[in-house]
Amino acid sequence: MTPGVIEQVAELRELAPLHNGMAAATMTAGLAAIPQLPHVVAFDTAFHATLLEEAFRYPVPERWYREWGVRRYGFHGISVAWAAERAAALLARPVGELRTVVAHLGSGCSVAAIDGGRSVATSMGLTPLEGLMMGTRAGSIDPGALFYLLRTGRLDPEDLAEQMDHESGLLGVSGRTSDVRELVRLEASGDRPATLALTMFARRAAECIAASATALPSLDAIVFTGGIGENAAGLRSRIVANLRSIGVAPVSPEAAGQDALLSSPGVSPAVLQIVAREDLIVARAAARIVGAAGAAL
């Protein structure tokens, strides 16, 4: 990491307004505080560099891609990389042979299809707004709805961005909170907006998982990770129940261990819960890059 790298991250702030500004500030502070040590950046998008053009291109005029860089980049790659590796270990299968759909469900949510350790599809796109319904982000909606709000003057671009990023998703539908634990408590007390928010979340997550599976020749496993994917056992069970039409067997709504096979042994596709360990993937990358730099010196 150098000041030039930080500048590049800051320049791309428009693509990830919730992330890049904070990342650039943290990187600057880190260099200033510990200038004597090498600093390494691990990019969440890097894992998705294996996407084929048919997967990362949008069906828009070519100049949008060639001149303006409008394409699918994908995010949560560090988490997905660990989930795919750990799933292979739990299933006693070589990662190079396993075909997996990973659902990273947290404040931000995405689904990725992994074929032999390589990303072949992902639900997030140019920005982290596309795809699943999230904590405070809307996910994919009809862009015509956005044009309508802008053309009629109901929202300006800044207000629209603020509401799509911070006031939508579980928070927008429930009108109360984006915290799944609180929504579950509200649902149990008969709160209809909370029930609607959780039902929509489960349905949209299942839709994205099923769509991602079409990018694979076959489906060996579905992995749930991230704060919601790991801890919201009841919601996870509801998502899986929505996948019965593609042959996914139900899983228990009861809590499981840290890394666990949720489906019955031998059932395919297997359903697993895996604790996100981005720290391990980042540490490995840092060790590899710093080690290579040291060897070159």
Query: Where is 282: in which H helix or E strand?
Result: helix 278-296
Structure tokens at 252: 């228990």
What phi, psi does 188 have (nearest 5°)?
Answer: -65, -25
Distance, first Cα to last Cα, the chain: 17
Sort residue 31 into left (φ over 0), alpha (ψ -120 to 50) or beta.
Answer: alpha
Given CA atoms 11, 160, 22, 55 in this order, what sign does their dihedral have?
negative
Q: How do 118-122 and 109-115 pair as beta strands?
A: antiparallel
Query: Quick one: which of 213, 174, 219 has its CA closest to 196?
Result: 174
The amino acid occupying position 31 is L
Q: Which tokens in the block code for residue 81?
A: 């990389």
44 in catalytic set: yes
Q: How do 260-261 and 221-225 pair as beta strands?
A: unpaired
**d(Cα 61, Cα 258) in Å, to the nearest integer?**
46
Active site residues: 44
